[in-house]
Structure 1
Amino acid sequence: MSNRHQNLPAARRKGQLPTKVCLTCGLPFEWRKKWLTVWDEVRYCSERCRRNRHLNNGH
């Protein structure tokens, strides 16, 4: 087995991923790899919710 993977953090199981609640639809969503560097800034579960943020009707 190669030593190149020894310094990587242990993978998290799907149930252990951080979650947030979408500000538009109110549904919970989980961390995604593409949000690795911007997770603190993520507020919406999808592009659709981000576009419709002004239509938030209090779900």
Structure 2
Amino acid sequence: MPRSKSDLPSKLCPVCQRPFTWRKKWEDCWDEVKYCSERCRRRRAQAKPEDDSPQVRE
């Protein structure tokens, strides 16, 4: 029986913070997939977690 789209696993992209769902081309490497697109993968160096940024208090 086919799966519905709502039943597919999903992850959150660390670059754009958008959810993305499992794709057939990621079938063998889903655990290693981190980014939703090639664009986000290329921009990964620009994405910095908010926890690592220094807090400036006056």
Work out whether the TM-score is over 0.5. yes
Match among 2, 5, 15 for residue 11 of structure 1: 2
Counterpart amino acid of 2:12? V
Higher relative contact order (CA 8 A, sep 6+): 1
SS at match of 1:55: coil
Q: TM-score, normalised by structure 2?
A: 0.78
Aligned structure 1 segments of 4 or more residues deviating by more than 4 angstroms: none
Identity %: 54
Q: Which residue of 2 aligns with 1:23?
A: 14
Q: Which runs of 5+ in 2 are unaligned?
A: 51-58
Shift of 1:32: 0.2
